[in-house]
Amino acid sequence: MVEASGATGPPVVRIGVAELRRRPGQRRELRREVDLAPVEVAGSALAGDGRAEADLVLESLSDGIVASGTVTVEWVGSCRRCLGATGGRSVADVHEIFKDRADEQGDASAGALPVEGDGVDLGPVIHDAAVLALPLAPLCDPGCRGPVPDVLPVATPEEPAERPMDPRWAALDELRFDEGDRGS
Ligand SMILES: [Zn+2]
């Protein structure tokens, strides 16, 4: 059920880099709110209007551009244990390299995205990071005990469901401390 891009695909977020590329090592901070096409993974989807916040730094290399930073999304989904509606914010890291088309054939640029003229398109990068940020198996709460904890206990990190009842502890339940008698 991964229909990440659908028919519309990622938006074009074209950023001019001519100025940045005058000198290798120059950096430029970039904050953008980007409206993505509906993005959905198995357990969750982008909330509301499908907005992603990109908080990136572009740095010029001698033969390209590095984009690094984070993409933050708000998501909605169903809890994997109780199936209740849940949601939240999550963040994915971005580290992407854009290189000049001239050395597209070289091994070194394998996996790099192209610098197109004087610009780079951050749309696919932001889109892919938003997909990665979406939780595949969300929880409404880390301690969620499922829809019917008394009948179908769910293992949680805090309290493993499989833990057998130790008969030695049962004896403690029988003990009664009568505070009223103390000190008299
Ligand atoms: Zn839950």
* 170 Cα–ligand 1 center, Å: 30
Reported as a pLDDT band with limits 50, 70 and 90, residue 184 is very low
* 132 Cα–ligand 1 center, Å: 22
Res 104 pLDDT > 60: no
* 90 Cα–ligand 1 center, Å: 18
- Quick check: 44 and 92 in contact, CB under 8 A? no
CB neighbour list of residue 100: distance below 8 Å, 6 or more residues apart: 63, 64, 114, 115
Res 162 pLDDT > 60: no
Instruction: Specify the pLDDT at position 41.
Output: 93
Instruction: Specify the pLDDT at position 176.
Output: 62
- Quick check: 79 and 138 in contact, CB under 8 A? yes
Residue type, 33: E
- Rounded to whole angstroms, the Cα distance separating 80 from 71 reads 24
Res 95 pLDDT > 80: yes
Res 159 pLDDT > 70: no
CA dihedral (143, 149, 155, 157) in degrees, to 10, reads 20
- Quick check: 143 and 160 in contact, CB under 8 A? no
Query: Residue 11's closest CA among 29, 31, 32, 27?
Result: 32
CA dihedral (112, 25, 124, 54) in degrees, to 10, reads 150
* 130 Cα–ligand 1 center, Å: 23
Instruction: Specify the pLDDT at position 2.
Output: 42
The β-bridge relationship of strands 14-16 and 119-121 is antiparallel
* 147 Cα–ligand 1 center, Å: 7
Res 3 pLDDT > 60: no
pLDDT, tens digit, 9 for 90 and up, residues 111-158: 789 999 899 999 999 999 999 999 999 999 999 988 888 777 776 666
* 145 Cα–ligand 1 center, Å: 7
- Quick check: 45 and 100 in contact, CB under 8 A? no
* 73 Cα–ligand 1 center, Å: 21
Instruction: Specify the pLDDT at position 84.
Output: 94
Instruction: Specify the pLDDT at position 141.
Output: 92
- Rounded to whole angstroms, the Cα distance separating 36 from 57 reads 20
Instruction: Specify the pLDDT at position 48.
Output: 85
pLDDT, tens digit, 9 for 90 and up, residues 38-85: 899 999 999 988 999 999 999 999 999 999 999 999 999 999 999 999
